Amino acid sequence: MRLAGHHRTLFKMLALSLIAVLLSGCSNNWGWYVVSPMTKSGMNNLLFLIGGLKYTLLLSVTAIMISVVVGLLVALPGLSENRALKLFNRTYVECIRAIPILVMILWVYYGLPQIADIQIGVFWAGVLALALSDSAFQAEIFRAGIQSIHRGQYEAARSISLSYTDTMRFIILPQAIKRILPALGNQLVYMLKMSSLVSVIGMQELTRRANELVVTEYRSLEIYTILIVEYLVLILIVSAGVRWLERRMRTDEGS
């Protein structure tokens, strides 16, 4: 109840702040008419901006799903006693984390087709770049989560003759995922924000559409303010969903 009240207060403050900004648009120096739902052109501009939301969501969710799988596959060798496998894990994580996401996006879009002799569109270039960049962080999250499980769980699985794969699948990973869920939620929020960088290669997501509208309307302050509100509302909704899932999993574990 306390958390719900906090969210209501936050949304009220956001709404009041936005109303205050809009009311200040009466000044000659402001041009909120470009995004005003009261005019036809303003409504068309708003719909154009909001239309980028589906691409932002699709890009981010696809990338996060791929990065989770790759991150888990990279994390498992880091838990091995084999030095070569540990070296692979450490080399992958350190190298990928050292590359800025914007540089990775540009390299995947412009460089990968030349190296691999393939054609890649802006969507999949963005997904691949974001997934690669995030997979190193996911690997560390999974490694920490799996290592937090008590060794007694492994011994219990070994006592009933479970294989390593079955032990991970049925015993270790379900417990680890519950513990790392907040970190995974943070990565999803991070991915939603970083998806704005894919606009540099022409992806028609929220930021790209705002940039195009600024070029035609010459009202950067008003348009980028709406862009901030879009991201803020989107991320608050996702954060609330992650917290709900955390509470649900704790409730199921307690019962």
- The domain segmentation of the chain, as residue ranges, is 30-51+207-255, 53-203
pLDDT higher for 150 or 100? 100
Residue 155 contacts by C-beta under 8 Å, 6 or more apart in sequence?
A: none
The predicted model gives 104-116 an average pLDDT of 92
Contact 222, 46 (CB under 8 A): no
Q: In the predicted model, is pLDDT for residue 77 greater than 60? A: yes
d(CA 21, CA 10): 17
* The pLDDT of residue 33: 79
pLDDT at 128 over 60: yes
Token pair 């997501």: residue: 205
> What pLDDT does residue 10 have?
52
Tokens of 109: 């879009």
- Token pair of 67 as six digits: 């990065």
Is residue 13 scored above 70 in pLDDT?
A: no
What mean pLDDT is predicted for residues 223-242? 90
More confident residue, 1 or 97: 97
Q: Which pLDDT value is given to residue 152?
A: 81
Confidence tier at 79 by pLDDT (50, 70, 90)? confident
The pLDDT mean for the chain works out to 85
Task: Quote the tokens at residue 127.
Answer: 């997904």
Task: Supply 209's token pair.
Answer: 């559409």
What is d(CA 93, CA 136) in angstroms, rounded to the nearest whole number?
Answer: 5
* 53-203 CATH choice from 1.10.3720.10, 3.30.930.10, 3.40.50.880, 1.10.1370.40: 1.10.3720.10
If you search the block for the tokens 């007694």, which residue do you land on? 152
What local confidence, expressed as pLDDT, does residue 40 receive?
86
| pTM exceeds 0.75 | yes
